[in-house]
Amino acid sequence: MTAFIIRRLLYAGFVVFGVVTLVFFSLQLAPGDPISLLLPAEGGGAASLELAAQLRARYGLDLPLHQQYVRYLGRVLQGDLGTSIRTGRSVTAELQRLYPATLELTLAALAIAIVVGTASGVLASLNRNGPIDHLSMVFALLGVSLPNFLLGVLLMLVFSLQLGWLPPSGRVGGVGSWEAIRFLIMPAFTLGLAAAAIIARLVRSAMLDVLSEDYVRTAKAKGLRQHTVVLRHALRNALLPVVTVIGLQFGALLAGAVIAETIFSWPGIGRFLIVSITGKDFPAVQGAVMGIAVTFVLVNLLVDLLYAVIDPRVRFA
């Protein structure tokens, strides 16, 4: 087990290195000048070429590409992700500040996805071809086909503008407080709905497979109560493929957070990434991508380990 973990962590190192290198060079290939965002806004006589040159030198953008790359890698190995061109602040500090918000949003969305998805999947499987099944699958269809940005705006129109129940956007600190939860509900639901839909469909089909197994019939024949059969015997086995999907969905949620954070003005890494990409803020983009890559790799490792816990047949050679 320990050897497995060490091996996977080494792989993770290679993955992160590959991602950073790829992002560095692809950003350089893309057109755009980060300096344009530092000059007086869009003209007015103060944006001289001399000032642009001074700003380029300040951020090392006047160096040849290979030198910029080597310099960047050297810094990263020392744990320094550089300075954001747009904000002038340390990228490491920015990520430390923003990461909790993204993690909070992603975990809340994942919790919604798991609870809503599993519940509707189980209910659908127990009422196969009944109205609940159809309702549940319509929900799943809507969940995967409704774009994040549309769902977010619809929720805002209903719950903020019409009903006035929830704040339209923003975030307040204090995880767990009612005020913080009010700000979290809509972005988390927007982000989690698609994953909930996927999980619902998967749980439904896995449950239908498991419910027809001999051991479930035996459990029923023994006179066990319905919820014991469903929860203890059927669901536990049906959840095996779901765990893998949850791991993958976590990655999708991190990606989806980019949109949800923008719509709901949620101060997380996703929004930071979008701003940094559009501003061609190289160090910030690289830092944010690295943060997301590391998270994704670690979550997948966690999922693999969880597999062994849930399914005793799985062992790590």
Contacts with another protein by CB under 8 A lie at: 30-34, 36-52, 54-55, 58, 86-89, 94, 97, 153, 156-157, 160-161, 164, 167-171, 262-265, 267, 271-272, 274-275, 278-280
Per DSSP, the three-state class of 90 is: strand
CB 185 within 8 A of CB 243: no
CB 294 within 8 A of CB 81: no
Closest approach, Cβ 46 to another protein, in A, equals 3
DSSP 115-176: HHHHHHHHHHHHTTTSHHHHHHHHHHHHHHHS-HHHHHHHHIIIIIIIS--S-SS---SSTT
Q: How far apart are CA 149 and CA 47, in angstroms?
A: 36
Closer of 218 and 265 to another protein (Cβ) = 265
Closest approach, Cβ 288 to another protein, in A, equals 13
Closest approach, Cβ 243 to another protein, in A, equals 35
Closer of 93 and 141 to another protein (Cβ) = 93
Closer of 6 and 93 to another protein (Cβ) = 93
Closer of 247 and 279 to another protein (Cβ) = 279
Q: How far apart are CA 88 and CA 132, in angstroms?
A: 54
Closest approach, Cβ 56 to another protein, in A, equals 11
Closest approach, Cβ 314 to another protein, in A, equals 43
Q: How far apart are CA 110 and CA 104, in angstroms?
A: 10
Residue 224 zone, left/alpha/beta (φ > 0; ψ -120 to 50; rest): beta
